[in-house]
Amino acid sequence: MDTAFTEEQDEIRRTVRELLARRCGPDDVKSAVRTGAGYDEELWRTLAGELGLPGLTLPEEYGGVGCGAAELALVFEEAGRALLPSPLLATAALAAPLIASLGTPAQRGALLPSLVSGERTAALAVPAGALPVALGLTGDAAEDAGWAGGGRAGGMQAYRDQQRPGGWRLYGECGQVLSGHSAGLLLVAAHAGGFARSRTLLFLVDAGSPGLGCVRQTALDETRAVARLELRDTPARLLGTDDERAASTAAALARLGPRVAAVLAAEAVGAADSALTRTVAYVKLREQFGRPIGSFQAVQHRLADVYVQVQAARSAAYYAAWAADAHVNAHEHADADADARARVRGDATAGGLALAQGLEALRLAAGEAVQLHGGVGFTWEHEAHLYFKRAAGDDLLFGPVHRLRAHAAERAVLFAPDAGADGHANGGRARREAGEHGGRETGEEAVTGNSREEAERDRKRQEAVRA
């Protein structure tokens, strides 16, 4: 792994940063989020048409650039620094890669060029709160079949359209769809096949289709627009050709998860770094007792703690971006190579851990920004609350942090009762807990004995009370 960025990568970072510094300041952000689209459409056309950001990681044959997760992470770091409201996450990080992975050649040729050029945006629609599970960040989508709603009712249901050979219709609703209200194309996760053999597939739905209702929801973080979708017998097209693609869908989402986590971690780092920079600049100017408050050691220590957290989170995000590409490569050879399977498991945990660290750094930086700005930090006119809302909103959408870490630990087999050769000391720990040594009670016997003693004590207390 080469930790140094190339000249091309540095140029991508510099170009995006300079453009957003000119056209996406705090006042521009506040104006953009109050528009119908929820973002500056002219700025989006510049980001897509001139810089080609939506197609940064897509193949060149569809108009993309063919870069990797590291370049995308640098772009998202600068987007986070400016708190850029845009459909970049929904289109470039979620929807477009799934179309490239699962779509037929005809679907890729028809859909990807318009997404790359920015003429149309796309969104991935899953039930509210299910996105981290679908991406394998807080759960396993392959094992948890209910992440898309599940059950005989609820979630999104798909059934064949008898009037259109090969067509489908969708019925259901889902909320918190990122940039769903402004998307021209929706990728909807829905159950198909009936309750007994239900499986989750991805379907393509065009904006304006009959029976489709889409309303922008009020969100804690206005810079991260979300929508609520209602589909009532809405015509849809299967992404791909074979309806027996449940395993392929789950695998594609699992491969995408580490990359999405890496870019979200980088975005959180950019926002945290911006909040820290603004706070440091303020404490140098704000005076108390005849001197800048930044000269007080207590303030310096608090900001130093934030700086350490931000730098650690940045390193984790960069590593996760590198590991995301390695994860995809290892995944392709995992069936035949045991070492590749180990790399898949290790690389898959880097994204979730980096995202957890990035979210923690952002929450700390945003909280200190509000506190150290004093009274002005609590006003709507100041930008400090934007960072705090981004921190809280992202934790709700993509976390929480403890679940990200818990699932990473589960994937790494850290706390398995008996992990065999891979578990090292875990097997011995499990045997000790089971009472392997002679003369000791097993765990079940100990519990039973304790229960009997407690029952006997309760009986004696009741007899004493009656007496």
Provide the token pair at 219. 């969100």
CA distances from 269 to 167, 263, 273, 309, 314 (A): 43, 10, 6, 9, 6
d(CA 80, CA 441): 56
Give phi and psi for 259, each to the nearest 5.
-70, -45
The neighbouring-strand residues paired with 392 are none
pLDDT digits (tens, 9 = 90+) for 136-183: 999 887 766 667 765 445 678 898 988 888 889 999 999 999 999 999
d(CA 395, CA 129): 11
Q: Which fold has domain 125-246?
A: Butyryl-CoA Dehydrogenase, subunit A; domain 2 (2.40.110)
CA distances from 128 to 124, 228, 424 (A): 11, 9, 39
Q: Tell me how many degrees the CA angle 93-95-98 measures, rounded to the nearest 5.
A: 95
pLDDT reported for residue 446: 40
pLDDT reported for residue 449: 47
d(CA 372, CA 17): 26
Q: Which fold has domain 257-423?
A: Butyryl-CoA Dehydrogenase, subunit A; domain 3 (1.20.140)
The reply to whether omega before 400 is within 30° of 0 (cis) is: yes
Let me know: does 373 contact 282? Beta carbons within 8 Å. Answer: yes
CATH code that applies to domain 7-120: 1.10.540.10
Provide the token pair at 47. 């980001």
Domain boundaries, the chain: 7-120, 125-246, 257-423
The neighbouring-strand residues paired with 191 are 157, 200
pLDDT reported for residue 196: 53
Residue 56 Rama label (left phi>0; alpha psi -120 to 50; beta)? alpha
User: Which residues does the chain have with pLDDT short of 70?
Assistant: 1-2, 143-146, 149-154, 194-197, 242-247, 327-347, 416-467
Q: Which amino acid, one-letter code, is at 61?
A: E
Burial of 402: CB neighbours in 10 Å, binned 0-12, 13-18, 19+: exposed
Q: What is the pTM of this model?
A: 0.85
